């Protein structure tokens, strides 16, 4: 059954033209349906909904008598909530179109005329359809994961699959008869869970992420003996560096411990990133960047935990548990991790109701439950809004007097407008309790010292950041918190003895020549996606300068 692309324009000639252009490009994979009025379009959508036939894209002209394009798209949500929406408009209507991005969730607006379609129409529609396909995968070949809802290993497996854009179906042995049937068929012992049932492979029993990556055909070893640049970390900085390095002809490999995207890849919405007026999810940004880097020839090596860095003459070696990668230069883009919550009982329940960060794709697991979020930065705000779509109530526990000083104003406003989000200011979590999973929290009011015991099944922690840079060893200078010192800062009173070359260090260069740092891992970085992308690109420019002198 081919998904439908529906067009609506009251001008028959324009309607025929848009349907013709769409059919020429997408007719093999999509059913193109053209209509000439809003009422006719809504009637077609209602019929498709009754038949349970998917609609991928609705394209509407704004200036139509009786019903504007925006009104058509708003009413279309009653029948096809998951479709993408494209508005065709004149330049004079752009203000209306921009408002519609916020008001009705318009995905994109396109100025008429769209000739030539190869330059003005198809790139836009390609992106919209790619997004729709990712959100509506064909489930016939999905992995099946069988495990416990409150198992830390099950959570790790699901998170790894989601963040690497591998579709799967989840079966809970405590809730689903089918899960118990599958576990019995596999002869699973309690220690075998989670099971990962691979359609064309052997069943995996409590796999490590490295085992899982290998079984799925994801690359876990580098292919070349020597690279121009090895990028450690696949967040926004690392992916940007990969795109620029590979596109400029450098042999490039990216090594990522978990999944590309970093912390940004887990965000439900990045709304202040340049060029995306509606915003985009972290997973979408990561997927686009991965495809872009792969297109230029960058290698992506997953499920490898870096343990050391060695200088071998003109070569730098990045060390792993059982292998290594040699490169003429290295870019450290490992980002940061959320700091651990020091409350009693939390460590014992991590992965079983207590989580650091929140993956956007897993928010539906909290449906109907009471959820607590610790933190007051943008990442905590985005997570709270995403979780609130499913949870009965989300309570944000904030140490400060309000969110205003640490969170972007647009998020503060949305949280204030959300009926099921409560902000508990001047408060902190001091205890967690539960047998097999989190069942309750102890929250302290900081001004009075009074404590309160509350029932809770979910706690998501976003309390600042800590860089994992111990693997760099003593040669790479870091500050007292572990952030990498770069560029002119190395020449200050505290670090001048560490730099030995006659030239000064390049702006993002560490105390080891040829090793650069970009993004959140670097001292005094901005901790924003856009700045991380900029530093990733800038680091490649500096790599070129370094390689030209060696």
Least Cα distance to 334 among 424, 416, 254 occurs for: 254
The arrangement of strands across the sheet holding 451-455 comes to 427-433, 440-445, 451-455
DSSP-based three-state secondary structure for 172 = strand
CB 19 within 8 A of CB 46: no
3-state secondary structure of 475: coil
Structure-token match 């085992």, residue found:
211
Query: What is the Cα–Cα distance from 228 to 221, expressed in whole angstroms?
Result: 17
pLDDT digits (tens, 9 = 90+) for 189-230: 888 999 999 877 889 999 999 899 989 888 999 999 999 999
Residue 211 phi, psi dihedral angles, 5° rounding: -60, -45
Rounded CA-CA distance 82/80 in Å is 6
Strand ranges, E, within 357-488:
370-374, 393-397, 421-424, 427-433, 440-445, 451-455, 458-461, 465-467
The angle formed by the CA atoms of residues 259, 276 and 363, to the nearest 5 degrees, is 45
Specify the pTM. Answer: 0.82
Q: Are 517 and 508 in contact (CB under 8 A)?
A: yes
Here the tokens at position 479 are 């500050």
Contact between 407 and 381 (Cβ < 8 Å): yes
Helix, strand, coil % over all residues of the chain, rounded to 5: 35, 25, 40
Phi first, then psi: what are they for 50, rounded to 5°?
Answer: -65, -35
Tens-digit pLDDT string for the chain (550 aa): 789 999 999 998 888 999 999 999 999 999 999 999 999 999 999 888 878 789 999 999 999 988 999 999 999 988 888 899 999 998 778 888 888 888 888 999 999 889 899 999 999 999 999 989 888 876 555 789 999 988 889 989 998 998 888 888 899 998 889 999 889 988 888 889 999 998 778 899 999 998 999 898 889 999 999 999 999 999 999 999 999 999 999 999 999 998 888 888 888 788 888 888 888 888 889 989 999 999 999 999 998 889 999 999 999 999 998 899 999 999 999 999 888 999 999 999 999 999 998 887 778 889 999 999 999 999 999 999 999 999 999 999 999 999 999 999 999 999 999 999 999 999 999 999 998 899 999 999 999 999 999 999 999 999 988 898 999 999 999 999 999 999 999 988 777 667 889 999 999 999 999 999 999 999 999 988 999 999 999 999 999 999 999 8
- Is the Cβ–Cβ distance between 325 and 318 less than 8 Å? yes
The set of residues, in sequence order, having a beta carbon less than 8 Å from that of 194 and lying 6+ positions away, is 145, 146, 147, 148, 151, 153, 154, 157, 206
- Strand 308-312 versus strand 315-319 pairing type: antiparallel
Which residue, among 429, 353, 356, has the nearest Cα to 397 in the 3D structure? 429
DSSP 99-167: HHHHHT---EEEESP--SHHHHTHHHHHHHHHHHHHHS--GGG-EEEEE-TT-HHHHHHHHHHHHTT--
CB 146 within 8 Å of CB 182: yes
Structure confidence by residue, pLDDT tens digits, 4-61: 999 999 998 888 999 999 999 999 999 999 999 999 999 999 888 878 789 999 999 9
Find the Cα–Cα–Cα–Cα dihedral 397, 403, 409, 410, rounded to 10°.
10
Task: For tokens 């992916």, name the residue.
Answer: 239
Sorted by where each starts, the structural domains of the chain and their CATH numbers stand as 4-135 (3.40.50.2300), 139-215 (3.40.30.10), 226-337+466-548 (3.50.50.60), 346-463 (3.50.50.60)
Reported in sequence order, the residue ranges of 401-481 that DSSP labels E, i.e. its strands, are 421-424, 427-433, 440-445, 451-455, 458-461, 465-467
* Residue that has been written with the tokens 């943008």 in this structure: 378
Q: Kindly tell me the sign of the dihedral angle through the C-alpha atoms of 351, 356, 361, 362.
A: positive
pLDDT for residue 91 = 79
- Pair type for strands 324-327 and 315-319: antiparallel
């Amino acid at each position: 059954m081919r998904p439908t692309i529906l067009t609506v324009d009251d001008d028959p000639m324009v309607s025929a033209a848009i349907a013709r252009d769409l059919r020429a490009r997408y007719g093999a994979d999509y059913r193109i349906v053209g209509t000439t009025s809003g009422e006719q379009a809504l009637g077609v959508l209602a019929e498709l909904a009754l038949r349970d036939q998917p609609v991928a894209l609705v394209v509407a002209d704004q200036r139509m008598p009786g019903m504007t394009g925006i009104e058509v798209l708003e009413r279309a949500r009653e029948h096809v909530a998951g479709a993408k929406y494209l508005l065709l408009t004149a330049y004079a209507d752009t203000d209306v179109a921009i408002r519609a991005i916020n008001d009705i969730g318009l995905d994109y607006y396109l100025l008429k005329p769209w000739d030539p379609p190869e330059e003005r129409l198809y790139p836009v529609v390609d992106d919209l359809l790619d997004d729709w396909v990712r959100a509506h995968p064909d489930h016939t070949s999905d992995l099946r994961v069988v495990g416990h809802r409150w198992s830390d290993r099950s959570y790790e497996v699901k998170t790894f699959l989601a963040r690497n854009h591998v579709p799967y179906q989840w079966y809970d042995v405590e809730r689903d008869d089918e899960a118990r049937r599958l576990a019995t068929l596999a002869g699973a012992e309690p220690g075998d869970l989670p099971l990962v049932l691979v359609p064309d492979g052997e069943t995996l029993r409590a796999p490590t992420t490295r085992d899982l990556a290998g079984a799925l055909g994801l690359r876990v070893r580098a292919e070349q003996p020597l690279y121009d640049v090895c990028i450690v970390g696949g967040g926004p900085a690392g992916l940007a560096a990969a795109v620029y390095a590979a596109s400029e002809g450098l042999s490039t490999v990216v090594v990522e411990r978990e999944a590309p995207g970093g912390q940004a890849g887990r965000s439900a919405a990045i709304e202040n990133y340049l060029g995306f007026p509606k915003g985009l999810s972290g997973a979408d940004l990561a997927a686009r960047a991965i495809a872009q880097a792969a297109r230029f020839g960058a290698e992506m090596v997953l499920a490898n935990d870096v343990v050391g860095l060695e200088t071998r003459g003109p070569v730098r070696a990045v060390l792993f548990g059982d292998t290594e990668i040699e490169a003429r230069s290295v870019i450290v883009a490992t980002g940061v991790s959320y700091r651990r919550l020091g409350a009693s009982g939390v460590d014992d329940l991590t992965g079983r109701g207590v989580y650091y960060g929140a993956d956007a794709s897993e928010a539906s697991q909290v449906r109907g439950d009471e959820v607590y979020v610790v933190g007051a930065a943008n990442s905590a705000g985005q997570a709270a809004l995403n979780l609130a779509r499913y949870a009965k109530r989300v309570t944000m526990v904030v140490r400060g007097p309000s969110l205003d000083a640490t969170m972007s104003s647009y998020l503060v406003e949305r949280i204030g407008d959300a009926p099921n989000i409560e902000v508990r200011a001047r408060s902190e979590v001091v205890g967690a309790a539960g047998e097999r999973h989190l069942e309750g929290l102890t929250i302290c009011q900081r001004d009075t010292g009074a404590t309160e015991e509350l029932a809770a099944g979910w706690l998501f922690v976003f309390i600042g950041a800590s860089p994992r840079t111990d693997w760099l060893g003593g040669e790479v200078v870091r500050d007292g918190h572990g952030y990498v010192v770069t560029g002119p800062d190395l020449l200050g009173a505290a670090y001048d003895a560490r730099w030995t070359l006659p030239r000064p260090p390049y702006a993002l260069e560490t105390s080891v020549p040829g090793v650069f740092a970009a993004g959140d891992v670097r001292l005094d970085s901005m901790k924003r996606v856009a700045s991380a992308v900029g530093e990733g690109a800038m680091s490649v420019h500096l790599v070129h300068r370094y390689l030209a002198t060696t």
